[in-house]
Structure formats: structure tokens, C-alpha cells
Amino acid sequence: MGDVTGFLKHDRLKKENETPESRVNHFKEFAIPWSERQYKDQASRCMDCGVPFCQSGCPLGNKIPDFNDAVYRGEWKEAWQVLKSTNNFPEFTGRICPAPCEASCVLGLNSKAVNIEHIEKEISERAFLEGWEQPIEKVESSGFAVAVVGSGPAGLASAEELNKEGHKVTIYERDREAGGLLRYGIPDFKLEKRVVERRVSLMKEVGISFKTGVEIGRNISALELKEKYDSVILCTGSTVPRDLAIEGRTLDGVHYAMDFLKHQNQLLAIETQEHLAQYNTKGKRVVVIGGGDTGADCVGTSNRQGAEQVTQIELLEKPSLLRLKTNPWPEWPMILSTSTSHEEGVDRDWAILTKRFVGKKGKLTGVETIKINWVDKDQFQYEEVPGTENLIPCDMAFLAIGFSHTEHKGLVSQFGLKLDVRGNIHTNDYQTSEENVFAAGDCRRGQSLVVWAIAEGRKAANAVCKYLELNVAEV
Ligand SMILES: Cc1cc2nc3c(=O)[nH]c(=O)nc-3n(C[C@H](O)[C@H](O)[C@H](O)COP(=O)(O)OP(=O)(O)OC[C@H]3O[C@@H](n4cnc5c(N)ncnc54)[C@H](O)[C@@H]3O)c2cc1C
């Protein structure tokens, strides 16, 4: 540990961002890097705490104290080597990870956690700038061919790991471009698409083949795919959105959040010029239903398009500002989070039930709501509070209430895969109920995070390597 008293000398530094008034005028990323000195000071706050809970809090097991130490010493290449040893894509996690590592940082017990995520991003950007981030050459060819279905972070991570082991990897993706939710879900102001393209280009350079615009289960059947490859990994995501089957749902102006966000991403990538009016919030009053991250992305996107007013409502009650006794460190803190999108302007309310959508001549004009009291959160029981009925006038409403599970029609049903109780693909050590077909990421664990998708992609690739060695190599 370079400076054992660093945490006593330096406070946690806030990330610097372009002001909300300025950044709302564009869709680009808006974080302003710190100075070299500031990065080193912040890295020096990492204590020699003996048991680094941050490392176990990170699904990838990133060796955080080690890269912080290297940054403090100015050894940025070493820091990058440490980071890359566990994380295929620190350029993604350094930008958009909610940082479970910081939630479990030991310093967070009685002070502010080390600013791990921001340091991670800087390490990764320097690696690209300095040319350390190069295509990872594979070892000698194994002679095996593996198909990966889906090019989100789980698919990309598994492909990179398999390729390193000498397997010939082909990624199938039904969208026009690779990246999954990194490209089509997460807005540019959180993750510019050049960052995704930069990674995909490196992967192509080492011979990973991308077949986009191809849906397995439709253009190629599941069984055809299995016959063609020695092994298959499914990384198809959790793409079935939760719906709100209430009166007025079909009114013009009520949309799934993902349809809105995908359209905006496609517009910026000049992939579409259709449905411009349908998904444009300029001058409109918007209600976002769902208080999570997807909802926040809708808030940020609506404001950038020029919405007149944005309201975000959530069924759960308002979280506390500080950890409750029942939610101690190092658990993930269930506290109020205010994202950069919220800073840009929104009215937020909690414990609100959406009763019905109202409209005129087929067009949405408002959302009728009522306040609720939670009776038993574990049993999902609540009661409506009489006299709190409200009508929020609006022209557009976005449903950002999560995703149920992966799609069952097509690929999953053609393979006849066993599902878990929530409708995700059931696996045993990443192997599905179909011999030699594996699964990773949101299609297996349900909607989650990029860092989990990368971790799962790595583990599934490892399971495939073991399988090929033990079962296919002997044949
Ligand atoms: C709007 C939004 C914002 C988010 N923001 C964040 C964030 O800030 N930070 C964070 O950590 N997480 C965030 N998440 C969650 C994160 O994006 C996901 O957990 C992660 O992308 C899951 O990765 P994946 O590879 O499992 O699936 P996905 O990224 O969903 O990729 C699955 C891919 O499979 C393809 N596919 C599906 N079926 C087929 C088929 N039959 N044939 C061919 N291709 C197929 C899909 O087209 C898609 O490209 C966000 C999610 C959403 C919806």
C-alpha cells in the first residue's frame, strides 16, 4: 500500500460533470476527468484493510486494492494489467457500473468509500490511448468451433474468453449491430457507442466472427446451430418487458421504455428515420412509470429531446437517505439514489399506484394514480389511501417496470429448455438442460447488471472449455 494514511489526508472527491443546463442539450457523455494528482490522491484513499470486501463485492472479483496502489505509484500500465486480469471490459464498467465494490468498501463503514469506478474508467481510457489495449491473440487453435447467441456484455465476454483458449468463435446477433443493451438500451450520455464499437473492432481483429441481423430460432433453427458447432452459449438477455394491463393501455402515447430508448439510440446511430413523431417528447408532458435505472434513462432522454415536463412515479415507498439498521454495510445500500438524469429536472413521487390511462380520441391525455400504503412488502401487499386519487396530465407515458424473463418462443422452445421458476433459462454450472448448450447473463439470472453479465460470460466460457476438453476431445 503506497500511502497508508491517504484516507486520513484526502476526502472522497465528487466526480466532475458538465452542468445539467449544458449537458441536457446533447447526448454525449459529460464526465470531466480529474487531474493526474487527483487520481493519485483518490487511489491513495484505499486502505490496507486486510480483507478487501470491495473485491468480494465485485462480481468479477476485481483486485481493487492492487490497481489503486499502482495508480497511486503512477504505474498506470501495471494498474491496467491488474484490472484486465479479471475484467474483459473495464471501459464499460468504469462508466456505467453502479459499483457494488464501493458499497462494500471498508472505508464506507464510517467515511466515504474510495472512488473506485472513476479510477477504473481512467485506467481503461489510458490503456486505449497508450495502445496497451491490443487484440488478445489466441493460443494455438483448439480445432473446436463455438457459437455464441447474443452480443451483449455476456456474449462478448464469453466470446473473448473462448477465443483466448484457441476456439473458433462466431457470435450471432439479431440486431443490426453488436452490443446488446450496451448499444440499444443504455443511452449515449451514459455510454457513447464509439466505446462499444472500439471493443467490437478489437474482437473482430482477433478473428471473432460477428453475424448480425441473424436471429437464431428464426433465420437459423436451434438444432441447425447445435449441429454446426461443437458447443453453444446462449446470451440472449431478458427481453420480455413487464406490462401494465390496465384501462387505456393501448392509447396512443403509452410505450414500453425500451422501445423509446432503443429508438433514440438508433436515431443517433442513423439506423432509423422512422417513427420520429411517435417517440419524440419535444414540448410534451411525460410520465415515466417505474423508479429504477431504466426509468432514469427515460427521464434523461426525455429532457434531452426537449420535454416540457417530466414526472417519474414509483410503486415502492421512498427509500431512506441513510442505511437502515436492517441493511448494514457491506450489503448493497437500499437508499435513495439521485442519478445525473434526475439532476437535469424531474418531479419524482413514490408509493404511487397507476390506476388507468385516460385519453381523448385514442390519444393519451393523463395518468390516473392513487397513493398507497405498504402493508407487507415481502408479500407484496399494499392498500390504497382513500382521497389521494390524482390525475397527472400527460401526452406520453413510458413503462419502465422491468423485464419478466428471456423470450421463450423461438430458440428456447426449439431446444425445449428447462426454465427456472421465474422463467429464466435453468442451468447447472452454466449448462442448460440441453447437452452441450450453455447460458449466461440476463437470460439465465434475470435482468441484472453489465458487471454480472461479464462475470457470467467468463464463467460460462470456462464451463464450455471444460466440457470440450472432457467430452468432445475424447470422441
Ligand atoms: C435501459 C437500460 C439501462 C441499463 N443501464 C445499466 C447500467 O447503467 N449499468 C448496468 O450495469 N446495467 C444496466 N442495465 C442492465 C444491463 O444492460 C444488462 O444487465 C446487460 O446488458 C445484460 O447483458 P446480456 O449480455 O445478458 O444481455 P443483453 O445486453 O440484453 O444482450 C442480449 C442480446 O441477445 C440478442 N438476442 C436475443 N435473442 C436472440 C436470438 N434468438 N438470436 C440472436 N440474437 C438474439 C439481443 O438482440 C441482444 O443483443 C440496463 C438495462 C436497460 C434495459
Number of folded domains in the chain? 3
Q: Report CA dihedral (424, 425, 429, 430) to the nearest 10 degrees.
A: -110
Residues 160 and 110 in one domain: no
Residues 223 and 176 in one domain: yes
- Cα-to-chain-centroid distance, residue 42: 25
CA neighbor of 61 nearest in space, from 52, 70, 69: 52
Ligand 1 geometric centre to CA of 182 (Å): 7
Question: Cis link prior to 330 (omega < 30° from 0)?
Answer: yes
Residue after which a domain boundary falls, among 364, 399, 434: 399
Residue 455 covered by a domain: yes
Q: Which of 444, 450, 456 to mutate to test the pocket of ligand 1 (most atoms within 8 A of CB)?
A: 450
Q: What end-to-end distance do the CA atoms of the chain give, in Å? A: 51
Residues 47 and 161 in one domain: no
Residue 365 covered by a domain: yes
For the chain, give the longest Cα–Cα distance: 72
Q: Which of 186, 225, 448 to mutate to test the pocket of ligand 1 (most atoms within 8 A of CB)?
A: 186
Q: Look up the domain containing 46 and give its range.
A: 6-130
CB 436 within 8 A of CB 460: no
Residue whose C-alpha cell reads 475424447 in the numeric block? 474
What CATH code is carried by the domain that includes residue 335?
A: 3.50.50.60
Residue minimizing CA distance to atom 21 of ligand 1: 181
Encode the chain in three state secondary structure: CCCCCHHHHCCCCCCEECCHHHHCCCCCCCEECCCHHHHHHHHHCCCCCCCCHHHHHCCCCCCHHHHHHHHHCCCHHHHHHHHHCCCCCHHHHHHHCCCHHHHCCHHHHCCCCCCHHHHHHHHHHHHHHHCCCCCCCCCCCCCCEEEEECCCHHHHHHHHHHHHCCCEEEEEECCCCCCCHHHHCCCCCCCCHHHHHHHHHHHHHCCCEEEECCCECCCECHHHHHHHCCEEEECCCCCCECCCCCCCCCCECEEEHHHHHHHHHHHHCCCCCCCCCCCCCCCCEEEEECCCHHHHHHHHHHHHHCCCEEEEECCCCCCECCCCCCCCCCCCCCECCCCHHHHCCCEEECCEEEEEEEEECCEEEEEEEEEEEEEECCCCEEEECCCCCEEEECCEEEECCCECCCCCCCHHHHHCCCECCCCCECCECCECCCCCEEECCHHHHCCCCHHHHHHHHHHHHHHHHHHHHHHHCCC
Residues whose beta carbon lies within 6 Å of some atom of ligand 1: 96-97, 149-155, 172-175, 180-181, 185-186, 190, 215-217, 235-237, 258, 261, 293-294, 297, 410-411, 441-442, 448-451, 453
Residues 123 and 232 in one domain: no
Residues 161 and 220 in one domain: yes
Residues 344 and 432 in one domain: no
Residue 303 covered by a domain: yes
Ligand 1 geometric centre to CA of 153 (Å): 7
Residues 225 and 292 in one domain: no
Three cell numbers written together for 10:
484526502
Residue 361 covered by a domain: yes
Quote the radius of gyration of the chain (alpha carbons, Å).
23
Residue by residue, DSSP assigns 338-353 as: --HHHHT--EEE-SEE
* Whole-number pLDDT of residue 471: 81
Residues 366 and 293 in one domain: yes
Residues 271 and 393 in one domain: yes
What CATH code is carried by the domain that includes residue 116?
A: 1.10.1060.10
Residues 281 and 337 in one domain: yes
* Whole-number pLDDT of residue 359: 98
Residue 248 covered by a domain: no
Residue 245 covered by a domain: no
Q: Does pTM top 0.85 for this prediction?
A: yes
Query: Quick count: other Cβ atoms within 10 Å of Cβ 45?
Result: 27
Residue after which a domain boundary falls, among 357, 376, 399: 399
Ligand 1 atom showing the smallest separation from residue 297 Cα: 1
Ligand 1 geometric centre to CA of 218 (Å): 20
Residue 247 covered by a domain: no
The type of residue at 34 is W
Residues 201 and 223 in one domain: yes
Ligand 1 atom showing the smallest separation from residue 447 Cα: 19
Ligand 1 atom showing the smallest separation from residue 294 Cα: 1
Q: Which of 58, 236, 239, 263 to mutate to test the pocket of ligand 1 (most atoms within 8 A of CB)?
A: 236
Residue after which a domain boundary falls, among 76, 101, 130: 130
Ligand 1 atom showing the smallest separation from residue 150 Cα: 34
- pLDDT tens, N- to C-terminus, the chain (475 residues): 678 899 999 999 999 999 999 999 999 999 999 999 999 999 999 997 889 999 999 999 999 999 999 999 999 999 999 999 999 999 999 999 999 999 999 999 989 999 999 999 999 999 999 999 988 766 789 999 999 999 999 999 999 999 999 999 999 999 999 999 999 999 999 999 999 999 999 999 999 999 999 999 999 999 999 999 999 999 999 999 999 999 999 999 999 999 999 999 999 998 888 888 889 999 999 999 999 999 999 999 999 999 999 999 999 999 999 999 999 999 999 999 999 999 999 999 999 999 999 999 999 999 999 999 999 998 999 999 999 999 999 999 999 999 999 999 999 999 999 999 999 999 999 999 999 999 999 999 999 999 999 999 999 999 999 999 988 765 5
Residues 258 and 394 in one domain: yes
Residue 230 covered by a domain: yes
